[in-house]
Structure formats: C-alpha cells, structure tokens
A and B are shown apart, each in its own frame.
Chain A
Amino acid sequence: MRLLLVCAAVMLSPALAAQTATVPDITGAWGAYPGFRNGPPDPRFVPPPATEMRLKQPYAQAYEARRKAEKESDARGEPLANASTECLPNGMPAMMFAIYPIEILQSRGQVTIIAEAMSQVRRIYLGAPQMKMEETPPGFYGHSVGTWQGDTLVVDTVGVKESVLGYRGMPHSDRMRITERIRLVAPDVLHDQITVEDPVVLEKPLTFTYAYRRMPGYEVLEYVCENNRDYVDEQGVTRMRLQER
C-alpha cells in the first residue's frame, strides 16, 4: 500500500520525480584531462575548441594593449604585477581551469567545488532561485545555482567581481552571466562547458570547455599563501623578496 502511495506521488509530481531521480556521482577529486603521465588523451573526450572571444570597444583595445605590455615586460624580465602577484584567487570562471586538482562534493541541495590552488571554494545551490544581478554582492566566485537536467548539472553564476579576470585574462562587467553544463562523458571523465555572456563587454557569448579526469584516492592538499615573496615595485614590476642571512 505504502509503495503504491509513493508511486502515485511520484507519478503525480514530476518535480518530485526529478528530485528523487538518481544523479550522476561526480563526487571526488578531479585533475585536468588528460593530465600528466597518462598518455595521450582519448580523442572522444578532448573538448571542442573555444569559440572566438570577441570583445567590444574599448575593451578589445585595452585587452590587446595589456597583452602586448605583458609580453614586452616579460621579455625584459620584469613581469607586470597582476592578481596572482598578490596571491589573490583565480575566481570564476578561471578556477575551473584546475591548474591543480579540484574536488567536487555532492550533498543535499548543494554541490561544492574546491580548487586545490589557493583553497578556492564555490557553492552551487541546487534548485534555488538565482539572485538578481544588481542585488548580488560581487565576489570572486559569484552566486551559483544549479539543476540537474538529465545527466547534466546546469549551473548559473552571477555576481563575479569586475576585478576578477576570466578566460585568458578577459575583462567583464557586472552584467556577466556564466552558464556551465557539467557532465560525465565517460565514467571517469568530466566536462565543464562554460558559456560567458556579457552584453557590455562581449560582442557574442564565449564558450569553452574544460575536461577533467577522476583521481581516485587523491587527497586535495591545503594551500595557504603564507610565504608570498613577490612584491610590486614603484614601476609596477614584480620582484622577488630575498631573505637576509
């Protein structure tokens, strides 16, 4: 009888059915795919190339000028300061690049992603309403809500600080919206297809995909930026602080 009632409830409520359906298990540590010492990637799991990044003016001009200045200063051995000089986290969406492994945790109503690099944490609230852009306090990771659509976790993020540079150092405005489609393409290979929309800065949405491999048993390490020897001199150049004897 109880079983019948449960079945009836599920049949009557598609929303409940969606909530109780089994979702893919993506919990655990993940490293960039194919990763190191793992041989060449399986061509089936190599992400498609990114779409063209087309910035509006004056952002395009400023972006190119900055890239040129970085290249020239690097050639002189005097790298320009940037967020990493100050040990600031990558933020969204750059933290999903996973230069060091990431860890995904699935719990009731939430998916949490921890990047080993700089111990960055983002929380994705499942089934929760998204905040209005203009009411979202700007942060490094923004405010993320998600839903499982079949086998794909679709995540919507707004509220990333304008000082947090994105894909290849891309600038953005407070109107940026990030949509991720996170999906297992094989039992141990995960893709995060990331689409960035920004009507102020981008001519058209930018889409790129990061791939990850499961790292069974890997324990994500702590990362506290306690010994940053970099400092910025009067010319804005990054220097290394030496220790006196």
Chain B
Amino acid sequence: MLPVRNVHAAMRAMVAAALALCAAGGALAHHSFAMFDHKNKITLDGIVTDFQWTNPHVFIELDVAADQGAIKHYSIECASPNVLQRLGWKFNQMKKGDKVKLLVNPLRNGKPGGMLEEATLADGRVLSDGNPPGGVFER
C-alpha cells in the first residue's frame, strides 16, 4: 500500500496517462466532466449524510452549516468504486455522521453539487479522487 501522498502522485501520473490514451483515440468511462468548474476549488466542511459506493460514480451527500443555523446540502461526485479502490479507498471508510472536509470543483451552473478533488477524513487521512487536472477528458 502506497503512502497517501505517493498515491496522489501516482494518481496524477495515472490521469496523465489516461488523458494521453484518450487523446490517442479512446473511450470515455462515463461522461464529460465539463459541467464542473475545474478552475475553481471550494472547501466544504460538513457532516456526511450518505456515502454511496455505487457505479457509475461514488457520491458523498454532505450537510454544510450555512448562515443563521441553516443547513445547505451538497451532492459530491467522486470517481468510480474500482478507480477509488485501486487508489486505496474502501467502501466503508466514510459513513453517515462523519465530519469530513472536501475539496471540490463546484458545478458551473451554481447548484449545490460538485466533483471531489480531495477528501480529508474524520481521522485526518487525506485521499485523492484523481480528477483530471483542470480538465475535460478528450475522447
């Protein structure tokens, strides 16, 4: 098992290789990631309401404290379970009630959703989602 930071570096290399492959004439695993703002990153501190270890994407449902005691709910898309598993994620490492910090590329349409870049778990571990750096997959 690679240390988490090495996993990050490995994932960046993996994504670069995937992009190169895609540019060379490949296929797309699921969809274009153009709906997310890859130039913008927001940090969400919140409480997990659901961790969905599902295809085609893993989702983290998150409650974030807003102004005057209100709660804003976010749906955060992650990579697929097989990609995350190969990166060292586990299906049960996040659960309802966990306090987490998520670094996210928000939806470009302003709705409360986004794509995960990095998750800091309740125990302090940091896990990458391995997003394409700033970009859209070429097909």
Contact = CB atoms under 8 A, between A and B. Distances in A.
Interface string A202-245: 00000010000000000001011111111000000011111111
Interface stretch (B48-56, B93-101, B117-125): B48-56
Interface residues of B, number: 47
- Which size bracket describes the interface of A in this complex? 35 or more
A242 B55 contact: no
A9 interface: no
Given A84-B30, A225-B55, A240-B113, A168 B73 contact: no
A25 interface: no
A87 B55 CA distance: 10
Contact of B55 (A84, A94, A223, A243): A223
Contact of B31 (A32, A34, A168, A230): A230
Nearest to B31: A84
Interface stretch (A95-103, A121-129, A131-139): A95-103
Nearest to B54: A227
A244 B72 CA distance: 10
B35 A223 contact: no
Contacts of B56: 87, 223, 225, 227-228
Interface stretch (A12-20, A75-83, A145-153, A175-183): A75-83
Given A36-B17, A82-B31, 5 more contacts: A78-B35, A79-B136, A221-B82, A224-B55, A242-B112
11 contacts: A32-B17, A70-B32, A78-B34, A79-B35, A94-B27, A99-B21, A168-B26, A227-B55, A227-B56, A229-B75, A238-B32
